[in-house]
Structure 1
């Protein structure tokens, strides 16, 4: 199993808050790696929210190739952030970790959002393919107001390694995963969280329906549905496909991955739409134990469980700051001063939704609709 730590706040927070929460849940991960996604950035990035940020790792040769490729496309480097590396025993340092802010090419500056996003996606995929064979270029995301940081090692040690305890790097939404390696070889592209065009997610679990889901997504003709070094990356892509490509509200994501029985659908006021999804998107139904935490482009955060509720998960906090965690001890570390009796433990029909800005928490139930509210 892995352990998940997500915090959404009205104020900027440090990723060390997530990492310290992961440390309390250490029995659930083996220290084989950590991934971070920061959204709605503060610090030096607060004034750069409209510019795309390329996050990744390069070798020295890879950096030259990356610069040449980006120059050829017309991207102009505007700002570079690199972590202040501190040597830590057991963590192998790579040449160059970066979050690079770019100006769009001249011909794209007046284009609409969809055209810009297509450019960013195709650029990220091209860079990934350029460096994939020898790991000279590893890119995790290329999108405005998003930074992704991943490496092999224990989360707390990686926080020290990257100097995050003394860093100005902050954000209002941060997702962190402590890995329990289930692959024979550790590949950073298999490290959660995953991100695509404004949507991000991470998962604790095992997706035994991975192959048919992967084949369905790859047959959609969308270039971003690729990679799949982890069986959990499909959760992010299903979210993107449901909400972005098909245009359904976020709650239907739950109906897609854990569809109701036909007899249960009959009780829904939108039964016709739900039944249509159940039939047409049946290949996207997940199997196995899973807890999924994610966010959408507007900053809404959520947690959902598999249809048997076989992985732990809890949501709690106070207005202006909520945490979505694998375990209560992680929540206690992140937000100790809260009303614990209000903590939410989503069950198999539930989707816990935290509104943008951490204003309130609601629970949407597949059978009952919107139920619990915490604000």
Structure 2
């Protein structure tokens, strides 16, 4: 084992983790009530980094792995178990502010205590040999299953939030939280790697330490960047989601009770066609609530109608209408720039307009316009 390389990598990672933990714990946030949940998430993440920093410090200053391998394995297993819970809780409450309850917190602390106690019993009371090796494999699988379970819960929450954004807003709000999905999958891969590297030969340990550096840099940068968008995302999440509305609200309009489901649906179709003809879908920051109010219905019924008729979420449907409008503008107004057409069509971001246009038409807006001109 190259102790110098191992110690240097531990030292670099430890300094970065302590800096990031300090920022998460005491860094300033805007003095608004809406940021309370963001601050709570960041502090939990800070505690998680302190737990891992304590692990790194013991390895660095006490030389635990070279001198006491069994104790090092025990500490790693216990630390990773705790870190898994803290990481997942910190990210999940950014999307579900009711996730972290007192009961759930103590239940997971109980899981951690049980896992740590069994690990200590196995490594201290069971002699080295096949039985202990089988026990270590069992603990590693338990740790892996626990991490995957937590990751699954976080991914489900993330997908629910994406569906909520897509069903209620014309803008691509999900782009603001995409880092959580990336980080979660990265954390799963990194967590599995850490579990495996705990049992690998010592000469590979520095790779495990160095791999943590980009991992935590990405986490730190994501939290800082998310601060710019958090208020917008949280204000949407605080609204009552579509799934939680009263079932009776699915048929909410008194007019439908008078006309019957099919005549009312036809009337809604006529109203919607008139709205599309007026090209008011080009209004930026359009929400399904705005449209439902204008059409005299509610957002749940309207969302169900759009999904059944157009086979798309509200965001996808509005984006499609805007793309068709942009194509018309490119044909009729060659003097306008792509950026100007994007803005006039209702897109707040030129990059998002370009991406959606390319996905739908198979080429960029500029190439599409060029091909159209050549055909004339």
Normalising by structure 1, what TM-score?
Answer: 0.21
Normalising by structure 2, what TM-score?
Answer: 0.21
Structure possessing the higher radius of gyration over alpha carbons? 2
User: When you count helix as a share of all residues, which structure comes out higher?
Assistant: 2
User: When you count strand as a share of all residues, which structure comes out higher?
Assistant: 1
Bigger relative contact order (CA 8 A; separation at least 6): 1
